[in-house]
Every structure is written in C-alpha cells, then in structure tokens.
Structure 1
C-alpha cells in the first residue's frame, strides 16, 4: 500500500511539473518587461487564438504569426515579419515593446526585424490578443493604438475590414503567400475598388485576374451563387467624402469560425465544421475559365456551358478569326457595322438613315468600367443612353440605379441563373433591316428567290408526306381512334385545352405536331427508347434543326391524366434553374399527350447508382456534387422561385444527369404549387413512389415542403450507399435502408454505409451527409430541417443537431390496411413499369 501511494505521489508530482512547464510557455500580454520568446505563445482570453513563433514545413526561416488555437490543422491567419524572416536557429529573438511604446521584433543581434512604427507613443503600452483574432497595442486606458486588423496579410477574419482610402492612399489588401512554405508577399492580391458601386477584385501582379461585380447593397451581382441563402454577414461601407471603401464579414456567432484568404489558386471562403472537426471550403473563385477576367476580350461573352465558351455580342465579329479558332479569345470582338451616330454628319443627316437600336442581353454579369449616374431613374437611364452617342450600353438595377458604359465592354459572362439585363447599342442594319436603296433591292430580290425556293420545297414535302401517309397510319396513333361517345368528351376537352395553351402568352414553349414527333423518334422505335415508367415511355429524338431531345409519351392507361399533364406543362415552363430539367415543348393531338424535354446524355441517376458496373464512375466528389445540386434545385422550388412548389415524387429515377454529371430534377406531373404561407395540405389522392413518401403523407394524405425533405433524405442515403431503400438489409434483419443506416449511425459505424465500390476521399463529408439524411427522414415533419437549412448544412455553414430514431413503418411491401380504404392511392414503384391502383 505504501508503495502504491509513493508511486501515485510521483505521478502527481510529474504531471504538476509538466503543467507548470506548459503554463510557463503561455502569456496573456506583452509589456516592456515581459517580452514574448520563441518558446512561448500569446493566447486570447477565450483560448480562441494564439500568437507565437513558427517555422513553415520545409523552411529554414522563423516568423511571428497568429492562428486558431484549438482547431487542427492550423491555418496561419496573420504574419508580422512575412517579408523579413528570422533565422530558424535564432532562439534569442523576442517580440517586445520598445521605449517609444511600439511593438518590435528583434533578433539575437538586437536588430529590429519588424515594428508597428506608430508615432507619439510612450512606454506605457501593452499588447494583447483579442478573441476576434485582432492583435492590438493598447495604452493604459485600454484604447487601441494599433491592431493587426489594420495590416492584413493573406487572410480576412470576421470583423476585419478589407479596402482602401483614396485620400491617404492606404490599402488593406489581402496578399497571397509566395508558396506554402514561404509567407512572403506573393503575386496575387485581393481588394476593393473605390468606384461607385464598388467591386471586389483579385489581381495577379498588376493584371486583373477575377472580378466579383458591382455591390447592390446586399451582394456582389457578378458572383452567380451569391444569393439570399448566403447573404447574411456580408457588408460593404463606402464613404465618398472620406474616400473610403471597405468590405467585411460578420458571422453573428462567436462560436462559428470562418475566414477568407487569397492563394495562388484563387479566393476562398473557409469555415470550421464542428461536427466533422475539419476546415471545409465553401466557395472558391475563379472556379472556371469564364470567371477569369477578360477571357473573351472586349465585346466577347463567356458561357462555361457552351462550346466554345466565347461568342461575340450580336453585331460584332472576332477581331482575329485565326486567334479565335485557336481558342485564344482575349483579343475580343469588333463591331461589324459602324454605328449611325459615329458616322459623319452628312451621312447622318440623310433621311434614309435609320437610328441605332438597342440589343437586350439577359442573365448577364455586367461588364467592368461602368459609370454610375446618381439619381437617374429607369426611364431616364434609357433616354440618357439613347441621346448620348458615347453610350455603348446601359443597365438599370433596382438596388443600384443607372449604370452606363462608354468604353469597350469587358469581362462579360452569361449566367445560367440570376444575372442582370444589359442593353447594348447596335447598328440598325444588324437587326435585319437596311438603309440604302441598293441593299433594299438586293434584299427584295433575294427574298423573292427565297420564297420561290421554299414554295417548291414545301410542295415537294407535301407530296412526300402524301406518299408516306399510308405508312404513318400504321403507327399506333390515338388521334385516329374511333370517336365513340365515351371518348368524344375527352377529345373535345383536349382540343379546347390545346387552344387555351396555344394562346397562353406566358408559356414560352413550342407546340409540336404529332407528325414531327414521329419523325424525330423514328416512329417511336425501340432503338430510340430510353426508358419506361408508370406514366409512359421516354424516347430519344432529333428535331429538324439537329437538336437532340427526350420525348415523354404518356400511355393511354397512364395514371397521369389531363390535369397532371397540364400541371407539368404550366408549372415547369415557369421554372428556370440549372438543377431543373428544361421543358422545350409539348404535343396534344386527340388522346396523345407528349412532353419534349432537353436531352441529357447521362440519363437518370439510377442508371449509374444501381448498376454494379457503372456505379464506380460516380466517385464521392461527383456524388457530393449531385447531392448539392439536388438540394439547390429543391430550395429553388420551395423558396426562391416565383411559385412555391412541392415536387411530391422525388426519387433517383427522376434525377437526370447532363454530360458533366450535373443533376436536374425532372417529372413535375405530381408537383403542386401554392401561394402565401400555406404549409400543410390534405389530399384524398395519394400519389408518389413507395419508399420515398413521408409518414404523414402515406398514412394521412398530409403533404408539405417537409414531404420533399423526407424524400431528399431517402435519396441522400441511396446516393451515399449505392443501394435501394426498398430492400432488406443484413440478411433481412433491417426492413430497409433507413433502418440499416440508423443502426450503423447509432453504433458508431456510419462510414460502413458508404458504397464499397468507391474510396473514402472525404470521410467527414460522408459522415455529415449521413447525419443530415437521418435528420431529413425523422418521423415528425416539424423535426426535419427545411431546404434552406439543408443547403447550409451541406456547405458546412450550420451545425447539425442529433437525429431522432425513425420508426421505419415502411417495408418493401405496404401492409394491408396501411392506408384508409376511403382514400385513392396511386403507387409508382421504382423499376416497375406499371402502376398499382388500389380502389376505394
């Protein structure tokens, strides 16, 4: 017993000795008599930040820097002597306060390596590190004399301002490290411009590298994804009289850690994910070629979805066709026809000369170097540009005002969503008209010749179709069905509806003839067939202009009737988002109900996810990209579109993939749109797919946005695991994927759910997705997050609560009596071509 006590005493003494040693290395302020040495660190009062001497990996130099104390891997967020390093072996260096009250870093030879150089100070000062990360020099009254926030390096912390003062010439720019092991000033820098409205820029040396667009009092309109979801916490303050322009971020949450920093790879926003215990990147710019400044040169427009990515504005041609064809677009475009207002006076005075016209461009990142017209309204903006020959373009943004451009339009980009309208001055002849009598005659003759040519062509086509009529009549064509009293009413209703849709100006869709659909799909041949579902078949088609389309032909016995079909046309035509499939047109002839969509080369997600040979093509990076895209699409439907839409049939087969594996939500036949604050709806017609329905909808007919959230959670688990929800797992011990996922999560083996065909490239990200999926499939709708929360959770901007265990009432087959008998239920079972209807 005495031996054990002696051993315990020795251990206690050892740990006390170690604690004393550690404590001796931590200080909480720096004074004249208490400098900071290389074996010590200065810590903020809340233990959030730490400052001390450090040596980058692979370097022989020593620096004084600042970092988050308890978050690993550590990121140096500020460096004092970045351009004048200490020698690594110099252990006599110290950071202290000199006789004049300034902070100074001296080496072992008493040479001053770095100093604050604040004039008029005394030796009654001290330096402390605040919990905000600001390393400050203060006087005896605790007034801040100098702070590291005034002298940033490569990182912008919350509360730190980035910008400039044009009167004093002072700039607070972020400047990149030269390399990962060298914090000295690199070639990339980021700051704000002093123009109105101000813009954020990144420069490579003196050359613009990236531009964020004009500030509209809430966001930078040149950043496509900077919408209301991510706005809170971004601020710009401009004082024209003082000559200052500053940008900063505020997280409003002292426990949420984030920073913006500039590297040779671009500007990044990074945040700490407390659940994953890791630093995650929220966004990086530039992230594609179009975001690099001036990729397409003056009067060139960049669109990363096109090939080639650059094109000239209407009325302009490449300055050098040779360079343009080689993929070097930086020379830009030149005007094809001189503007009327730029011609000589005698020519302009001619009564036959037409005025220049305005060409509207939509969804644009507005060009650089615009002039802001203070106090000019919408109509005044138009009049000003039209009456000033120097005005090449204008735009009126309600949150900014009138902007005009008198120089070459540079750094134009066409967005897939969002953006602004830009109005460009072009010559009248470029719109298809002419000003000279000689050209008028030429155009008249060519027009007559064209009419004759098309008359002959149409006549020939008519004769060809007449010869083919017999063959076409062999195609199963419900238009030719006998008009019995039973189907005559539907035929009349269909024709009336067809005329109503045709006359609806709000529908920007093409009305296709049935014959054109037959030709496009090779008479609905099996070789053109892409797939089949409960509502009909989908075929690949090719229109006369060569454009490939997907043709959805509803079967005569389809559960999707006239109302569902009309719903899909009206609804999807009003929705525009890069993660929603685009409806191009429709066909209604007799009983034929056909939808024509954009063709997506990679078909639906299930063709990859549940195929043992193809699923390996979906690595984790692509799967996470798909998850994020689906979430953004649902957020648009629920909150950001002009309508409020609940999809009601979210599943893997309704997620289509384009050539870049970007997801697009499809099949809106069952979707419902609402207005106002309606959140919960009851229906006696339950439609959807077994396994994706929320409990309140399948059992009681109650649906809301949270019903879609439930389906998203199921979909998320299927994407992570590569397995279907409607199957038994672990030798039948678990009823479905949800119960199996909960078992793995609750036993600390969540990563075992990941598809075994792919490598774990980001285990913390995978775990976060599984946890979020379990939050989405909780039994009670009120417990599930909304899609705004989901998007924030995916980006790591929001903490994840602990999910509650679901009861897993759904099995691979619906139990008898699962739905009240008075309700009509339509179940579209995944991978089953038919539709099971349980009558009343």
Structure 2
C-alpha cells in the first residue's frame, strides 16, 4: 500500500512482484505514460494506461493524491492541474485512501481501516483483459467495462476499435471499428459464446458468466495462478489471446478472432448464412424460405444485398412449419425476445402463435439440463453461420412447400428415400460391373505387356493419369515436381540393397542422391501394397499442402508403369524407434534431447489439428513414423492414413480401422470413432515410450503393458521408477520428467472427453510449473502375453512393421463395430 507521492523512476510492485505500477515509455519515444505492466516478463508488456491521450514530455511527472481523495497524475512536480485523475466521489471529509497494486494486476484505492474499495483499474480496462477481470455491466455501481484498442503499437491513446458486452436482447460480445460492427461472438450457450467454438479449454480457464437483471458480465479465471496469459484488442481489429513462454522468453498467440470470411459481421447480408464446409462452393446461401435479392450479384459471389422472403412463400396460415438448420451461430440476438422460463417445445408453440415470429432457438443449449430458455426473432436476421461440429440448432418458420423442399415430410419423404435407395443399388451394381470389366481388361493387358529391360520413358495408365490431373490442379495442391523413373533409379543405384533404408507394410524406403548432390529418401510402394491409389493420392495431396518444421517435407513423386513413389527429404538419423528401442543408441538421448523431441512432436500435431489451413487427423502416430534430422529435430511422417476435416470438425467414424495397436485409442480401435483426441492418445503413448525407452507392448507382471505398469506405479507414488536407466540423471530435473509422465497419463485416459486437446498439451509442456488435473484410469492397461523378446527396432527410414511386436502391427482392414 502507498499514500505518499510517486516521482518518475519510482515503482510500486504487487505483493508477489507479478505486476509493477509507475512511469514508462514505449519504443524509442521519450513520451512518458503512467500504467501497469508485468514485472515478471522480460519484455515490457503494458496491461493498463492512465494518461492514454495525455503523455508527459519528460521525466518531471508526479503521481499523488489530491485533497479530495483522488489519485492524480501531474505533468510536473509543481503542476496544479492534473492531466489524469481517478473518479472517486468527493464524499470523504478527511481522505485517507491508499493505493494498492494486487497480484492480479488491479490498482485499487481503498480505505485501510475498513478495507472498502473506492476505485479500481479493473473497472476501467484499456486494450487488455487480464484473468479474473470482470467484463460487462453491474447495476449496483453503474459501471460498464469494455476494451478500447491503442492507436498503434507505440501509442496507447484511444483507438477506434472497441470490444464490449451488448446487453440488448440476449447478451453477446461485439467488436466495433468506429461505429461499424466488425465481429460478434454470438450469444452465450451455457458453456461458451456460440461463435467461439474453441472456447472449451477446461485445463486453462474457468469461465463465469452472469446474466440477471442486476448484472451481465463474464470473467475468465485461470486454473493455475502461475500461468501468465492475457487477451489483447489490437489496433487492426483483432482479438488475440497470448500466454508467456518463460523458456523462450516470448508471448505465444494461441487464439485470435475474427479469423475467416464467415467471421466478418453480416458477410452474407440480411437473411443469408455463411458456410465454409464446402471449399469449392460459394460460402453464402439464403436461409430456408428466402432467395437472393439480386441474383446477378450472387452469381458473381457478392451477397451484400442479402436475401428476401420468397414471393410464393406464405406463413401464418396454419400450414407452415419450421426448417431446422444444424450447428449454427444464431443470428444477431440484439433484438430477440427472451424467455428463460419455458422449454424449446413451448418456444415453438409461442412462435407459431405470433405472426411476426420468423425463427426461434433455445437460449442455453448446452446446460446440464439440456436446452433451456427461448429466443424468438421478429424481422430480418443477420450474421448467421454454420459449423461442422459446434453451434446449435436454429428453427426457421417456412411454408409447407419450403418445408417439404428442406426436410421432406410424410409419404413424399418415404417415396423419395425409396427412390434414392433403389437408385443407389442400381448405381452400385453398374459400378461393380464396370470395375470387373476394367480389372479383366487390365489383367489381359498385363499378360501381353513385355516387361521393360531398361527404364522406359514416362507412360501412365488410367489410374496414374487421374493422379496427375489431381496433382496438377493448382487450386487443390501446390505445384509438386514429378520425377522420372529413370532419375529415381539412378539416384538409388537401381534400388540396390545397399541403398535400402527399411521396409514396411506398404513397400520399401531407399536412400538416393540426385545429380545436384541433394540426398533424398524414396518411399516405393509395392504392387501388392495395402496402400492403394487412394492412400497414395491422399498422402501426396496432404503433405504437399503442409509446411511445418516438425513435419517431413515432400520433394515430389513418381508415377510410371506400376510404380508409385514419394520423394522426401532425407533425414540422416532415421526414425525415433531406431533410437528409443535400442539400448546402445538410446543411451545417446539425454533428457534435453528427449524433451525436445516430445515438444517438437506436440507442435507438429498441434499444427495438423489447429494451425494449418486444413484440419488433419493423422491416425497412425507411432515411434516409427517420427523421423529425426541431423539435429534430432522430430518430423512426423507417413500421411497415407490421415483424414482431412473441415475447419471446425473434430471427429468422424469409419468401418475401416487403420493404425497401429498399442497406439490406437479405445474408441477408435473398438468402434471406429476417430477424432483429434485419437491423435492425443497416440501422442500420450509416445511420451511414455520416450521417457521409459520401452514399447507399450512390453509385458510387466505377466499382464500389464507399459501404460498399465506406469499407472500402477503412479497410484503408489513410485512413478520415478519407470525413468529410463540409461538416461544420465545429471541431465534432467526429476520434477520436469514427472510432469511429462503426468501429461502422458492425461493423454491416454480412457474417455476421449477427459483428454486435453493439443493446444492444452503444448501449453502444459511449455510451462515449468503447472497445476495439472489428476488423470483418470487409462485405456488398454492389460497387455498380451507373448514369447517374443522385446527390443530392437522396426526398421529404419521410415521404419515399418518388421519383427513381431504387437505394438507395431499396422491395421488396414479391420471392421469397426
């Protein structure tokens, strides 16, 4: 606490010295401001500024209390008029307030006797929202807390971007550029804003939303007080969330908005909605029952004029119904009617009784009791969008004809389904006949084809041509070099045994050297490979689009005659399993190298799941599919089994389970359900294998596998016993290894919903002190007893499934239940 004056150069610290208050300058400017900044962060990071528009020209400034109890900033020691002041009411006859800076970053004026607060900086945000900072309106004090951007990175003056909680209708957060609405979060669904599907990280934040007549506010708490995080409204109109990485001494951005076209407010005009699930299709469509106002503009992909009710549409005639739009960020809720005390079914009836009601939805659709409350729209609807795997159901009032078009009903729907079924059967039969004919012709042509004694010039069969057309489609892949077979043969010494790096279920891998001296690795698919044309195309298309330090880089491909080959960068240290499952080579891996490998794999998976333009589920993460360059930097490889998801899709299902036992999550192995959490499970297995130097298939006590053994020791408080004995104890901090074991167990929990996502995992790995939740029982803790010695490796670059380790069996044709 402090009562006396503060000169330029004096600093007040919070009790734990997390924050500091005093004078500062930005960049190369000599202008002086008064504010609060992080004291524990090496980079000056200001979180609050007092005299935003009134900087002091030199270091003669002074901070002191006025005679009426206000804390004031003066331009000079002898100044009489303050350039900034708190707004404490002049009701104290003998002011005795003191200033206190809390460890949350809140500057508070309090009565030291009663402890009553008269003013606090948290009620006057600038461009930064800190944890536990209340955001919104409280009727008791009449304070409306909102953010305003800086003018520029070196000018904290009031910018033209504001971000505030709109209390009209049903609450939502709004971002404005000047008077123009720029982005909105969507309404509160009970767990998150409907337009922020990423707002689900239970490992970092604890979110409190208050909605009643006396208060509408939101507070973001942090579960671990040691985590340093902040939300910033920057001067360009982007909301960003950062965390401080103490090791690299820099701020890491892990979320921002708006981010894509559909985020821009009113992108598709009145009564339109935005949908990015089909990349080749115009993202804007009209809501059911509506049509474009200006079809010519829509044909040119300009939806700014929006949509109008169809001329033939007729509602409020007791013959209409509701078209259901799924996974929606509902339209602007500023003018909706709200009733939190009725069910969704009652909401539908209420809307039908009111001829002005055009749509309805539940208010809290993710509450513990299911859908709750009723929102009804009256008039035009604006800023609607759909997601692949989030949002809520939205019901639009349409006439009978439109309802039949949108949903189908009664016997007409049954007839349509019957026709579709019959059509599908006919199409499948025709395709089978064509396929059988094609296979027969192909076999006949092979019998009469003379095998080339030397490598002939490029020629392609029907399947190969299709691949090349796909590769040459610049809208779908970047330009990818096509190598001639003769070039690859010369580089690999005619695929000699001496050049062979390893072999797997899909063929062999060879080292090669091109004429320009570039070393390459060639993945040559065998003719009877389980990886067919679809898997080959999938790997080429995927990996050619992905660019990341922790993903293997593809240089090109070759498709000639029966040959299908992928050309990669050559990585001299082969694969991860080549090291960690061999005692001699494993001894070379001290803890810093192992930790670097763990973090690198994590960053690569996070890129696949979240940061790349696509969302990729790898589905076959294992030690043999992690390659190591000459600096032991890990690179994820083998994308033949990967699946592409839309921007917000996080799960899918299949009847063809592919992957490797020992690394496969239970929901995927047993039911064919895969998601980003499937890869998280595989990553957890990798973490535990890297720490122990043992395969998950290793049997302990005649029953438990590696995970089960670790779980038993963890419950006994003896988890340190599983650390690799070949690891030099002087190279690691036991608490850091224990943290990684803890994270590994969180990743392999039986229920997918309990596992953290990769953003949380990478965050936890990057912070030294984390209060992690207790892991629940892991999956597959019982191994299979076998009479095979564990050890060795499963091949070299990228090693396949040699040997008989149950942990290394790749599945390509297992039927999910």
Indicate the TM-score class for this superposition, using the shorter chain for normalisation. 0.5 to 0.7
1:72-221 aligned at under 5 Å gives the runs 72-86=42-56, 88-89=57-58, 91-108=59-76, 109-119=79-89, 120-121=91-92, 122-141=94-113, 142-165=115-138, 170-195=143-168, 197-221=170-194
Distance in 2 between residues matched to 1:30 and 1:395, nearest whole Å: 52
Distance in 1 between residues matched to 2:747 and 2:438, nearest whole Å: 56
Q: CA deviation at 1:800?
A: 4.9
Distance in 1 between residues matched to 2:36 and 2:393, nearest whole Å: 45
Change (3 A) 1:59 1:331: farther
Distance in 2 between residues matched to 1:598 and 1:336, nearest whole Å: 47
The residue aligned with 1:360 is 324
1:320-469 aligned at under 5 Å gives the runs 320-341=294-315, 355-369=319-333, 370-396=336-362, 397=365, 399=367, 400-431=372-403
Distance in 2 between residues matched to 1:468 and 1:418, nearest whole Å: 39
Q: CA deviation at 1:649?
A: 10
Q: Does 1:699 align with 2:698?
A: yes
Distance in 2 between residues matched to 1:170 and 1:151, nearest whole Å: 9
1:679-698 aligned at under 5 Å gives the runs 695-698=694-697
The residue aligned with 2:584 is none
Match among 247, 250, 255 for residue 278 of structure 1: 250
Distance in 1 between residues matched to 2:462 and 2:45, nearest whole Å: 60
1:213-232 aligned at under 5 Å gives the runs 213-227=186-200, 229=202, 232=205
Q: CA deviation at 1:471?
A: 6.1
Q: What SS does the corresponding residue of 1:380 show, helix, strand or coil?
A: helix
Q: CA deviation at 1:785?
A: 7.3
Q: Does 1:289 align with 2:242?
A: no
Contact 1:175–1:185 under 8 Å retained in 2: yes
Distance in 2 between residues matched to 1:416 and 1:368, nearest whole Å: 20
Q: What SS does the corresponding residue of 1:213 show, helix, strand or coil?
A: strand
The residue aligned with 2:9 is 39
Q: CA deviation at 1:604?
A: 4.5
Q: CA deviation at 1:464?
A: 13
Distance in 2 between residues matched to 1:780 and 1:151, nearest whole Å: 38
CA deviation vs aligned residue, 1:619-662 (integer Å, no higher than 9, x gap): xx9998752155679xxx9xxx9xxx998899432464769999
User: Over alpha carbons, which structure has the higher Rg?
Assistant: 1
CA deviation vs aligned residue, 1:279-320 (integer Å, no higher than 9, x gap): 212211111121121111122111234342222223322222
Distance in 1 between residues matched to 2:461 and 2:219, nearest whole Å: 61
Distance in 1 between residues matched to 2:62 and 2:697, nearest whole Å: 70
Distance in 2 between residues matched to 1:366 and 1:540, nearest whole Å: 37
Q: CA deviation at 1:271?
A: 1.8
The residue aligned with 2:24 is 54
Distance in 2 between residues matched to 1:704 and 1:409, nearest whole Å: 57
Distance in 2 between residues matched to 1:779 and 1:163, nearest whole Å: 37
Greater relative contact order (CA < 8 Å, ≥ 6 in sequence): 2
CA deviation vs aligned residue, 1:593-625 (integer Å, no higher than 9, x gap): 999899858534499725356879xxxx99987
Q: Does 1:669 align with 2:669?
A: no
1:305-704 aligned at under 5 Å gives the runs 305=277, 306=279, 307-341=281-315, 355-369=319-333, 370-396=336-362, 397=365, 399=367, 400-431=372-403, 473-474=440-441, 525-528=463-466, 602-605=540-543, 609-612=552-555, 627-628=605-606, 630=608, 651=625, 652-654=637-639, 656=642, 668-670=657-659, 674=666, 695-700=694-699
The residue aligned with 1:19 is none
Q: What SS does the corresponding residue of 2:6 show, helix, strand or coil?
A: coil
Q: CA deviation at 1:51?
A: 1.0
Segments of structure 2 that go 5 or more residues without pairing to the other structure are 407-411, 445-459, 472-503, 507-529, 547-551, 557-566, 570-598, 626-636, 671-681, 711-722, 750-754, 771-789
Change (3 A) 1:706 1:460: closer
Q: CA deviation at 1:187?
A: 0.9
Distance in 2 between residues matched to 1:204 and 1:705, nearest whole Å: 55
Q: CA deviation at 1:35?
A: 0.8
Q: What SS does the corresponding residue of 1:386 show, helix, strand or coil?
A: helix
Distance in 2 between residues matched to 1:227 and 1:402, nearest whole Å: 24
Contact 1:630–1:664 under 8 Å retained in 2: no
Change (3 A) 1:57 1:673: closer
Contact 1:371–1:405 under 8 Å retained in 2: yes
Q: What SS does the corresponding residue of 1:233 show, helix, strand or coil?
A: strand
Q: What SS does the corresponding residue of 1:794 show, helix, strand or coil?
A: helix
Query: How many pairs does the alignment contain?
Result: 587
The residue aligned with 1:258 is 229
Distance in 2 between residues matched to 1:784 and 1:431, nearest whole Å: 45
Q: What SS does the corresponding residue of 1:384 show, helix, strand or coil?
A: helix
Distance in 1 between residues matched to 2:543 and 2:275, nearest whole Å: 26
Distance in 2 between residues matched to 1:61 and 1:464, nearest whole Å: 76
Q: Does 1:66 align with 2:33?
A: no
Q: CA deviation at 1:105?
A: 1.2
Q: CA deviation at 1:365?
A: 1.0
Distance in 1 between residues matched to 2:605 and 2:289, nearest whole Å: 41
Match among 220, 235, 245 for residue 216 of structure 2: 245
Distance in 2 between residues matched to 1:465 and 1:647, nearest whole Å: 34
Q: CA deviation at 1:76?
A: 0.9
Q: Normalising by the residue count of structure 1, what TM-score does the alignment of the two structures yield? A: 0.58
The residue aligned with 1:13 is none
Change (3 A) 1:105 1:781: closer
Q: CA deviation at 1:461?
A: 14
Change (3 A) 1:284 1:433: closer
Q: Does 1:811 align with 2:793?
A: yes
Distance in 1 between residues matched to 2:133 and 2:262, nearest whole Å: 30
Distance in 1 between residues matched to 2:157 and 2:431, nearest whole Å: 76
Change (3 A) 1:663 1:704: farther
Distance in 1 between residues matched to 2:706 and 2:205, nearest whole Å: 23
Contact 1:696–1:703 under 8 Å retained in 2: no
Q: Normalising by the residue count of structure 2, what TM-score does the alignment of the two structures yield? A: 0.60
